[in-house]
Amino acid sequence: MESSVVEKPESGAAASSFTKSLLLGEIHEEMVFPWPEPDAEEQRKVRDLNAKAREIGDSIDHRQVEEDRWIGDDNIARLGEAGLCGLYVDEKYGGQGLSQTGYARVFETFAQIDATLSIILGVHQSIGYKGIHLFGTDEQKERWLPDLAAGRKLAGFALTEPEAGSDAYHVRSRAVQQPDGSWVLNGEKRYIGNGSKGDVFTAFARAEVDGKDRHIALILEKGMDGFEVGERFDTMGLRGNDLRRLYFNDVRVPAENVLGEPGDGFHIAMSILNNGRIGLGTGSVGAAKKLIDLTIDHVSERRQFDQPIADFELVQEKIGWMVSYLFGLESMAYLTCGLADAGVEDYSLESAICKVAGTEFLWYAANRALQLAGGEGYMKDHPYEKILRDIRIFPIFEGANDVMRCFIALSAMKPVGEKLSGLGNIGLGDPIGSIGVLADYAAGRVKRQVAPESISMAHPELEKHADAVSEQVRELAAVTEGLIREHKKDVTFKQLQQKRLADAISDVYAQVAVLSRVTAIFADQGVEPSGQERYIADSFCRRAAGRVRSQLRQMERNDDDRMTAIAKLAYKRGEYGYSLFTD
Ligand code: MYA
């Protein structure tokens, strides 16, 4: 697990992850205050790149891309020449050298242009060659990054297999080391973006390393003997995304194509995905902005019952919800970019939170935007149906949202076990085992020393919300301990409780992000002139606090047993099984 440590100045206590420390009842506010301001020079660069992206994007017929099922090699070349294929790559390799924040800000623009374009460029940079950037040797970077950054070559990310989707650990592809140090790879991948267009793929396989069954990350190149690009998938949306099967038949991979150390493959895959998931969060921010803009135009112009439909309360409520929720989402997505830019290595939970919250918000926002567009929204000559088709996969790929929720909850519980390691034999690499020890410990009623913490760095005008968040963190810590005490090791099977915990953590993190951002806005513009931001922040925090309360309450009082029993009975019947009268 990633383990960068940020020192807490006052107490000397350290946190490896802001969000993980919340379940310990700790708020390491120095990690999230002050708000991470983007660098001025980089802002100029980003504006320039965004203008080029819009110019190219406007010249592409995105419906035609659906028909052609590819954006066109000429357009890839143009995007590359404009510097849009190597956004974070070091300038010495021909890239733009953007930070995570700058990268995300350009991806917002891609998302406003078109989802297929975003995904082709996202597969390429967010995950395709990210591993080379993060883990590559100087030689590997020099060999591959210049062509990839210039768009002369495209990259892909080959993790998913027929039998290993969410359960990525259990990939079946296998690499076997040869006496000359090279590896021979066999296996099959599926749903691989840029499949037949990609020249360079980061692929993952099992491998025996030092007598242990581990994972390895390999850089594959088009044209390697035995590397076969398979059939293309026909998809609901993102129809220009070249999604393929890949087959590896005795592919000989030279030792210099191994990424990182053999054995570290799973860690490398997860690190790439942690980074990629932020991109999906900030991409969702960009796409949602476009939807809000389209919807405001429509409701302002469309008249019914003798007035613009914008004047109806039921319309205003939808727009108000979209704007305030997006402000919260944007705040937490860019706070997470700030964590990555500050060198906090473990932002795994925050990026998963952004992925889940972003992709679900975008889905509901697109659905509401289509609803407000009325009959027109359903028509193919309007943008909504394509947007809905294109974004439907977002809650599924890069970590299915339910799986991400369980990951968030279980990973957030892990530091509780780590904190107690001095008190018992707790395996820190085994969160589940740790929970068992913790349960015994909690049942033994040993008193933990958890210093109640609060937010002190928010602007005084935001004190009410800061206090509310501090209280929610205390409740989160208490509820988590209660959960573990009640279920002991079985807490790993309590997915409904994990979901509630994950959603509560997400809403606490979002409130913190909003407080940090608005504190910076107050400092910059003054409180009075920031009335609108204050109003939005106030509404967002109130609603988020309400959701946290509701999740925590449902942990005590719910009908989970009934719901799971109804499902099991339905499985037994093998069908719904009821009708007014039989056919
Ligand atoms: S690419 C394919 C995406 N696939 C996935 O995301 C797979 C999902 N599965 C997983 O993430 C893992 O298997 C889970 C863990 C989470 C389920 N960071 O025992 P474990 C460590 C760091 O819990 P499992 C695609 O879709 C963990 O601590 N470490 O593992 C294309 C432990 O380490 P240690 C992590 O139960 C999309 C070890 O691993 C992480 O098997 C294209 C084992 O952990 C982590 N996150 O499952 C998108 N997780 O032993 C393009 C686990 O040391 C987008 N670990 O304690 C472009 C954007 C464009 C935007 C456009 C908008 C319009």
Question: Does residue 130 contact residue 149 with C-beta atoms inside 8 Å?
Answer: no
DSSP 467-523: HHHHHHHHHHHHHHHHHHHHHGGGGGG-HHHHHHHHHHHHHHHHHHHHHHHHHHHHH
Q: Which of 481, 473, 352 is nearest to 416 (CA)?
A: 481
Domain end marker among 202, 228, 263:
263
32: pLDDT strictly greater than 60: yes
Give percent helix, percent strand, percent coil of the chain, each to the nearest 5.
Answer: 60, 10, 30
Whole-model pTM: value is 0.93
Domain end marker among 248, 263, 278:
263
Asked if 398 is an active-site residue, the reply is yes
Q: Give whole-number Cα distances, 567 to 401, 403, 560, in Å.
A: 21, 19, 11
Can you tell me whether residue 212 is helix, strand or coil? strand
Instruction: List, for residues 564-573, the tens digit of each pLDDT value.
Output: 999 999 999 9
Residue among 161, 188, 398, 481 flagged as catalytic:
398
Q: For residue 165, how far is its CA from the centre of ligand 1 (angstroms)? A: 10
Q: For residue 444, how far is its CA from the centre of ligand 1 (angstroms)? A: 35
Distance CA(310)–CA(302), nearest Å, equals: 8
Domain end marker among 263, 286, 304:
263
Distance CA(360)–CA(314), nearest Å, equals: 21
Q: To which H or E segment does residue 226 belong?
A: none
Q: For residue 458, how far is its CA from the centre of ligand 1 (angstroms)? A: 33
**Would you say the CB of residue 193 lies under 6 angstroms from ligand 1?**
yes
**Would you say the CB of residue 168 lies under 6 angstroms from ligand 1?**
yes
- Reported confidence tier of residue 489, pLDDT bands at 50, 70, 90: confident
The 8-class DSSP code of residue 392 comes to T
Q: What percent of the chain has pLDDT over 90?
A: 87
Do residue 439 and residue 553 come from a single domain? yes
Distance CA(554)–CA(564), nearest Å, equals: 15
**Would you say the CB of residue 166 lies under 6 angstroms from ligand 1?**
yes
Residue 145 lies inside a defined structural domain of this protein: yes
Do residue 272 and residue 393 come from a single domain? yes
Instruction: List, for residues 407-458, the tens digit of each pLDDT value.
Output: 999 999 877 756 654 444 333 344 445 455 454 444 433 344 444 478 999 9
Do residue 513 and residue 498 come from a single domain? yes
**Would you say the CB of residue 493 lies under 6 angstroms from ligand 1?**
no
**Would you say the CB of residue 397 lies under 6 angstroms from ligand 1?**
yes
Distance CA(416)–CA(408), nearest Å, equals: 14
367: pLDDT strictly greater than 90: yes
Distance CA(426)–CA(422), nearest Å, equals: 8
Ligand 1 nearest-atom number relative to CA 170: 41
Do residue 277 and residue 221 come from a single domain? no
Residue ID of nearest Cα to ligand 1 atom 40:
270
Q: What domain range is 78 assigned to?
A: 40-154
Residue 526 lies inside a defined structural domain of this protein: yes
The 8-class DSSP code of residue 346 comes to -
Q: For residue 192, how far is its CA from the centre of ligand 1 (angstroms)? A: 16
Report how many domains make up the chain: 4
Residue 23 lies inside a defined structural domain of this protein: no
Do residue 358 and residue 386 come from a single domain? yes
Report the b/e string of 259-296 with b at 16+ CB within 10 A. bbebbbbbbbbbbbbbbbbbbbbbbbbbbbbbbbebbb
Do residue 83 and residue 190 come from a single domain? no
Residue 396 lies inside a defined structural domain of this protein: yes
Distance CA(453)–CA(470), nearest Å, equals: 7
Cβ neighbours for 21, distance < 8 A, ≥ 6 positions apart: 15, 27, 28, 415
Do residue 292 and residue 322 come from a single domain? yes
Residue 409 lies inside a defined structural domain of this protein: no
Do residue 220 and residue 273 come from a single domain? no
